[in-house]
Amino acid sequence: MRTLGRAALWVVFGLFFLFPLYAMADFSTRNLIQGGRTGAAWANLFTDEALYQAIITSLLLSLLTVVAMLVVLVPTMIWVRLRTPWARGLVEFLCLLPLTIPALVIVVGLKNVYLWVTYLLGESALTLTFVYVVLVLPFAYRALDAALSAIDLQTLAEAARSLGAGWTTTIVRVVVPNIASGVLSAAFISVAVVLGEYTIASLSGFETLQVQIVLIGKSDGPTSVAASLAVLLFGFVLLLGLSLLSRRRRRT
């Protein structure tokens, strides 16, 4: 009786969550004019010039964001634990702050900052990297914090330093390899965040993947649905891969 109830609940939840995803697959391969199936909407991901450009832009943005996030955050978090413990609370607070300040609020107040950014760096969607680094801070912080807590950072750093390594060598060649799993999960989650980001990009007028999806949706529903499903599946594969990877690591 109890297992039956549980199974029924699984089915209900499964239908609620998987049916819209199935509907996306069905909708995006339907031939609206002649009936039957067509892969035209999926082919558009590569043949539609604007959409293809937007995909490239978003992928580049996620790459840049991951690199910038790691360069800024990893040394900071290590340094705070080793040399400036008084600043640890402040760094944590600032990293988690974007959870309390919505992206929508940031974009409203961002105009003056971006006047300077575009003045200095030119008008490119890639300048979004800076804001995106802030946006991924909470997720990246948690992943890195968990990894750093699991190792004996103090001893590792002292050993490296006493053997004559400078701070850069200590961080890049000694500490980072030991928190590789945390770095990897911070990177994966950041990629997923950047690929899904719409608020800041659309309200600052940059054409990223999500902005393009909404734009195309006004005239060509199936293509937008195909691109949306592709992004969801990509994010899902990324996170599931991460989860399986961390399991293997824990076993060894």
* Helix or strand holding residue 218 (H, E): none
Q: Which residue has the tokens 């959870």?
A: 99
H/E run at residue 242: helix 221-251
Residue among 147 and 201 whose Cβ is closer to another protein: 201
Minimal distance, residue 110 CB to another protein, in Å: 5
Q: Which is nearer to another protein, 156 or 203 (CB)?
A: 203
CB of 60 to another protein, least distance (A): 18
Euclidean distance between CA atoms 213 and 194, whole angstroms: 14
Helix (H) or strand (E) run with residue 124 in it: none
Query: Toward another protein, which CB reaches closer, 156 or 235?
Result: 235
Q: How far is 217 from 228, CA to CA, in rounded Å?
A: 10
CB of 47 to another protein, least distance (A): 20
Structure tokens at 202: 């659309």
Q: Which helix (H) or strand (E) holds 167?
A: helix 167-169
Alpha helices in 29-110 (DSSP H): 40-47, 49-82, 88-96, 103-108
- What minimum distance in Å lies between the beta carbon of 167 and another protein? 8
Structure token pair of residue 252:
């060894």
Whose Cβ is closer to another protein: residue 112's or residue 155's? Answer: 112
- As measured in angstroms, the least distance from the Cβ of 228 to another protein is 4
Q: Note whether 192 and 231 are within 8 A (CB).
A: no
> Least distance (Å) from another protein to the CB of residue 70?
12
Number of other CB atoms surrounding residue 242 within 10 Å: 18
